[in-house]
Chains A and B, each alone.
Chain A
């Protein structure tokens, strides 16, 4: 049965199995490939998206569960021509190496800052704990989250 939900502000109707994880609906049903597959068991955070404003692992949410909801992916957060403050901070801080985890990192950070505009270092660490980076970009992620907080608060 087709499922209706909103992705990046657009109404979408998807005719795929209801038990299919949102991750694969996005990547292969809607060709929104910015959201990455890293593990499928919520251990790495590469598939993080916003579901009704909350950061979730899209590998753990089924298509059926998002019916009527609003999903935002990294492509909807901002674009190369209209960057979100978190993305601008990531670019300014030259965070990415391989970059594969960064969509998830950015979505996690954006959700954190939406809820807590001025997080402490410990709060940043705690919020980002579920997002792995094998290239070891954590120090630059930390700095970029703080930079993004400043950008968002207009300081």
Chain B
């Protein structure tokens, strides 16, 4: 695996990452993927050549600012500033495995920091490592990297200092580091660049100490994003922007009945069109390779396909009926929470409500895009993908090459939200590269193809039975049903995961509410429409069910929805986010013609409370304010965290108001932004976010801002109009301005 050559380089410094750094050898069975490249690779995260320091931020930058925050972890320990480093995705490598993403897949609530929960969490890091999955997801990048990448920076710094000590004939303790150089007691400076080659040969005796938080100069500060200038000047290179000599351009169409076969096609008209190079069959369809993307897209419309049937019920009503029929003992997937005696407590008259949500598309701004070149026995893939190591496997399998002959270049992504953890377009582009061996091909899906071929957020149904006594929820029986995201998504990668799918009950079972009798049951509907990880996954539906129900019960109890929640939550950080958002939003202060709704959800270990305010206008309901408070434990970059929470709210509100993928004849009925309408600027309320630091451990924030948005809005609509809407999108029941 080579790192791109740039400028003058120090020859190849064959350093053994495993040997050079004690902690690294201890921590990983994987070879340093930068080793053998050009420049001094001090460890898998730090490379120094003649032009300076490069930090590998091995998580997919899809907008969440992860490159900036991960680079800051390393730069902090090396006493560098971010304008002194270059940040890149780096190679696809098992060395960049993600342990935190599995660490929360355990049946212990995030609020449970007891001995057993922590021990099991620690054990979960082992299989993640040996799976070697380099994955971006689950709001796990920061928790996974927080120690690893600071240690990488500290180790690199320690090696540079030791190399300088040898060169200067002084003890390491007399040296300090500043501005990309080691500074001697007399003020003389040796730059990291001139020390790099020697540092690469240093063996550290002990794991270096990390800086105290009080000494941080980058972490904890709002830093300018490392990609902000490129993204404000049109110079950022996304996969769609890759241009290579002799490049061909393609688009694909596959069966809109997802997973259905392609029985045949007539491409004679397409093949005769100007600019078309060839039409190539791909799994479930065909792709047009042309001289430009426009010609390919025009021609693809002229292919007459004979599609097979959908391997699932063909209409939304039928799909919904399967969900409704799956609340059975046979389909019970998990009962992660069963406090007290719910059945006994729910005898007699009880509150009962059923809720539903539709399938949702990810609809990233950049449609699915990937490029590939098969040449001289090697395969190169360029893509923005959340699973780059999987591309190595898939590329090798499709070409018959060894995985070592496959190179993956990860480019910036025009949105991800979970969609780019799929391999569909990767398989297609490798197929195309084989068809035009020797020439690079860039495959871009049309918006219509993208919208109608997704691993959707599953449709889901929630059923709540409860009883209020003495102004509190005495008994709460929460049942939720959907197809399994893990089964569907991981199944598409060729794996099967035994046991219950925690995503089915995510955002419900682990909530810090304490009801005397409290049960959360997950039901696994059969696999139907392909489903996948959609920003915040199961919490996206369960928070709507859960927090709508809690709100209904608050009104039933005649209680204030904020006080009602606080009276039944004993987890201090969770209480604080609720108190904070109430204070920020002026909760309880009536504004004529407006009303507010609140919702709370802990997802990915992050408690978030949100308030939405709506106003009745002649054109429909208008969102006039939105407030959020979130606790991430340690706020590494407050302004970026604010952006993630605010953006997740907008993503959640888009879905809550207008998001629905419905099915007829086995096909998604929405194909464009006109019929799957995201929030636009005039609909977007002002948003205020407060970031708290009360949790015991650091948490990631890409997703947790989303789940409370829909229920907060639904609860606001109820508060204003008295109309309780239990089905999303809300826009089907009430008009929004």
| A-to-B contact residues, CB < 8 Å | 16-17, 20-21, 23-24, 27-29, 31-41, 43-44, 46, 73-75, 78-80, 83, 87, 90-91, 94-103, 106, 122, 124-126, 128-142
Which of A16, A94, A125 is close to B228, meaning CB atoms less than 8 Å apart?
Answer: A94
Across-interface contacts of B684 in A (CB, < 8 A):
136, 138-139
Chain A residue with Cβ nearest B294: A24
Please list 17 pairs of residues, one from A and one from B, whose beta carbons are closer than 8 Å in the complex, sorted by A's number. Answer: A24-B294, A29-B292, A33-B240, A75-B233, A78-B233, A80-B233, A96-B231, A98-B63, A98-B414, A99-B63, A102-B231, A125-B681, A125-B682, A134-B417, A135-B365, A140-B643, A142-B681
Asked if B585 is an interface residue, CB under 8 A from chain A, the answer is no
Chain B residue with Cβ nearest A31: B243
Q: What's the minimum C-beta distance from B643 to chain A, rounded to whole angstroms? A: 6
Asked whether, in the complex, the Cβ of A87 is within 8 Å of the Cβ of B414, the reply is: no
| Chain B CB within 10 A, most for which of A96, A128, A129 | A96
B residues 202-230 touching A (CB-CB < 8 Å): 222, 224-225, 227-230
Asked whether, in the complex, the Cβ of B673 is within 8 Å of the Cβ of A43, the reply is: yes
Across-interface contacts of A37 in B (CB, < 8 A):
240, 293, 367, 444
Asked whether, in the complex, the Cβ of A91 is within 8 Å of the Cβ of B224, the reply is: yes
Chain B residue with Cβ nearest A33: B241
Asked if B493 is an interface residue, CB under 8 A from chain A, the answer is no
A39 touching B243 in the complex, CB below 8 Å, given contacts A94-B225, A96-B227: no
Asked if B137 is an interface residue, CB under 8 A from chain A, the answer is no
B residues 345-402 touching A (CB-CB < 8 Å): 363-367
Give complex CA distance A23, B363 in Å: 20
Across-interface contacts of B682 in A (CB, < 8 A):
122, 125-126, 129
Asked if B478 is an interface residue, CB under 8 A from chain A, the answer is no
Asked whether, in the complex, the Cβ of B686 is within 8 Å of the Cβ of A139, the reply is: yes
Asked whether, in the complex, the Cβ of B673 is within 8 Å of the Cβ of A98, the reply is: no
Give complex CA distance A132, B684 in Å: 11
Give complex CA distance A35, B413 in Å: 15
Across-interface contacts of B229 in A (CB, < 8 A):
80, 91
A131 touching B62 in the complex, CB below 8 Å, given contacts A96-B227, A140-B643: no
Asked whether, in the complex, the Cβ of A38 is within 8 Å of the Cβ of B678, the reply is: no
Asked if B5 is an interface residue, CB under 8 A from chain A, the answer is no
Asked whether, in the complex, the Cβ of A34 is within 8 Å of the Cβ of B234, the reply is: yes
9 closest Cβ contacts across the A-B interface? A34-B234, A136-B650, A99-B231, A100-B414, A98-B63, A74-B234, A97-B63, A136-B647, A33-B241
Give complex CA distance A35, B322 in Å: 44
| Chain B CB within 10 A, most for which of A74, A75, A135 | A135
Asked whether, in the complex, the Cβ of B415 is within 8 Å of the Cβ of A39, the reply is: no
Asked whether, in the complex, the Cβ of B365 is within 8 Å of the Cβ of A134, the reply is: yes
Q: What's the minimum C-beta distance from B679 to chain A, rounded to whole angstroms? A: 7
Chain B residue with Cβ nearest A140: B643
Asked if B277 is an interface residue, CB under 8 A from chain A, the answer is no
Q: What's the minimum C-beta distance from A48 to chain B, rounded to whole angstroms? A: 11
Chain A residue with Cβ nearest B369: A37
Asked whether, in the complex, the Cβ of B681 is within 8 Å of the Cβ of A80, the reply is: no
Q: What's the minimum C-beta distance from B198 to chain A, rounded to whole angstroms? A: 35
Asked if B651 is an interface residue, CB under 8 A from chain A, the answer is yes
Across-interface contacts of B364 in A (CB, < 8 A):
98, 100, 134
Q: What's the minimum C-beta distance from A137 to chain B, rounded to whole angstroms? A: 7
Asked whether, in the complex, the Cβ of A28 is within 8 Å of the Cβ of B234, the reply is: no
Give complex CA distance A79, B234 in Å: 8
Chain A residue with Cβ nearest B229: A80
Across-interface contacts of A140 in B (CB, < 8 A):
643
Give complex CA distance A75, B63 in Å: 21
Give complex CA distance A136, B39 in Å: 39
Which of A32, A44, A101, A137 is close to B647, meaning CB atoms less than 8 Å apart?
Answer: A137
Chain B residue with Cβ nearest A106: B232
Asked if B236 is an interface residue, CB under 8 A from chain A, the answer is yes
Asked whether, in the complex, the Cβ of B681 is within 8 Å of the Cβ of A138, the reply is: yes
Give complex CA distance A125, B233 in Å: 22
Q: What's the minimum C-beta distance from A119 to chain B, rounded to whole angstroms? A: 12
Asked whether, in the complex, the Cβ of A97 is within 8 Å of the Cβ of B64, the reply is: yes
Q: How large is the interface on B (under 10, 10 to 19, 20 to 34, 35 or more residues)?
A: 35 or more
Across-interface contacts of B650 in A (CB, < 8 A):
133, 135-136, 138
Asked if B447 is an interface residue, CB under 8 A from chain A, the answer is yes
Across-interface contacts of A130 in B (CB, < 8 A):
680
Asked whether, in the complex, the Cβ of A98 is within 8 Å of the Cβ of B233, the reply is: no
Chain B residue with Cβ nearest A32: B234
Across-interface contacts of B234 in A (CB, < 8 A):
32-35, 73-75, 103
Across-interface contacts of B414 in A (CB, < 8 A):
36, 98-101
Across-interface contacts of A80 in B (CB, < 8 A):
229-230, 233, 235
Give complex CA distance A80, B226 in Å: 13
Asked if B297 is an interface residue, CB under 8 A from chain A, the answer is yes
Q: What's the minimum C-beta distance from B703 to chain A, rounded to whole angstroms? A: 13
Asked if B627 is an interface residue, CB under 8 A from chain A, the answer is no
Asked if B489 is an interface residue, CB under 8 A from chain A, the answer is no
Asked if B54 is an interface residue, CB under 8 A from chain A, the answer is no
Asked whether, in the complex, the Cβ of A134 is within 8 Å of the Cβ of B678, the reply is: yes
Asked whether, in the complex, the Cβ of A39 is within 8 Å of the Cβ of B447, the reply is: yes
Chain B residue with Cβ nearest A136: B650
| Chain B CB within 10 A, most for which of A99, A133, A138 | A99
Asked whether, in the complex, the Cβ of B232 is within 8 Å of the Cβ of A100, the reply is: no
| Chain A CB within 10 A, most for which of B224, B412, B673 | B673
Asked whether, in the complex, the Cβ of B232 is within 8 Å of the Cβ of A28, the reply is: no
Across-interface contacts of B413 in A (CB, < 8 A):
98
Asked whether, in the complex, the Cβ of A44 is within 8 Å of the Cβ of B681, the reply is: no
Asked whether, in the complex, the Cβ of A87 is within 8 Å of the Cβ of B233, the reply is: yes
Asked if B249 is an interface residue, CB under 8 A from chain A, the answer is yes
Give complex CA distance A102, B231 in Å: 7
Q: What's the minimum C-beta distance from B449 to chain A, rounded to whole angstroms? A: 11
Give complex CA distance A17, B62 in Å: 34
Across-interface contacts of A124 in B (CB, < 8 A):
681
Q: What's the minimum C-beta distance from A76 to chain B, rounded to whole angstroms? A: 9
Asked whether, in the complex, the Cβ of B233 is within 8 Å of the Cβ of A28, the reply is: no
Asked whether, in the complex, the Cβ of A96 is within 8 Å of the Cβ of B232, the reply is: yes
| Chain B CB within 10 A, most for which of A16, A36, A73, A98 | A98
Which of A20, A135, A141 is close to B63, meaning CB atoms less than 8 Å apart?
Answer: A135
Across-interface contacts of B643 in A (CB, < 8 A):
94, 97, 137, 140
Q: What's the minimum C-beta distance from B289 to chain A, rounded to whole angstroms? A: 14
Which of B233, B238, B681 is close to A79, meaning CB atoms less than 8 Å apart?
Answer: B233
Across-interface contacts of A27 in B (CB, < 8 A):
241, 293
Across-interface contacts of A83 in B (CB, < 8 A):
232-233
Asked whether, in the complex, the Cβ of A39 is within 8 Å of the Cβ of B673, the reply is: yes
Give complex CA distance A99, B240 in Å: 13
Give complex CA distance A121, B484 in Å: 44
Asked whether, in the complex, the Cβ of B679 is within 8 Å of the Cβ of A136, the reply is: yes
Q: What's the minimum C-beta distance from A126 to chain B, rounded to whole angstroms? A: 7
Chain B residue with Cβ nearest A78: B233
B residues 246-288 touching A (CB-CB < 8 Å): 249, 274-275
Q: What's the minimum C-beta distance from A101 to chain B, rounded to whole angstroms? A: 5
Q: What's the minimum C-beta distance from B637 to chain A, rounded to whole angstroms? A: 10
Give complex CA distance A45, B635 in Å: 34
Which of B224, B293, B639 is close to A24, meaning CB atoms less than 8 Å apart?
Answer: B293
A132 touching B235 in the complex, CB below 8 Å, given contacts A101-B365, A139-B687: no
Asked if B483 is an interface residue, CB under 8 A from chain A, the answer is no
Asked whether, in the complex, the Cβ of A40 is within 8 Å of the Cβ of B233, the reply is: no
Asked whether, in the complex, the Cβ of B233 is within 8 Å of the Cβ of A74, the reply is: yes
Asked whether, in the complex, the Cβ of B233 is within 8 Å of the Cβ of A34, the reply is: yes
Give complex CA distance A67, B365 in Å: 30
Across-interface contacts of B417 in A (CB, < 8 A):
134
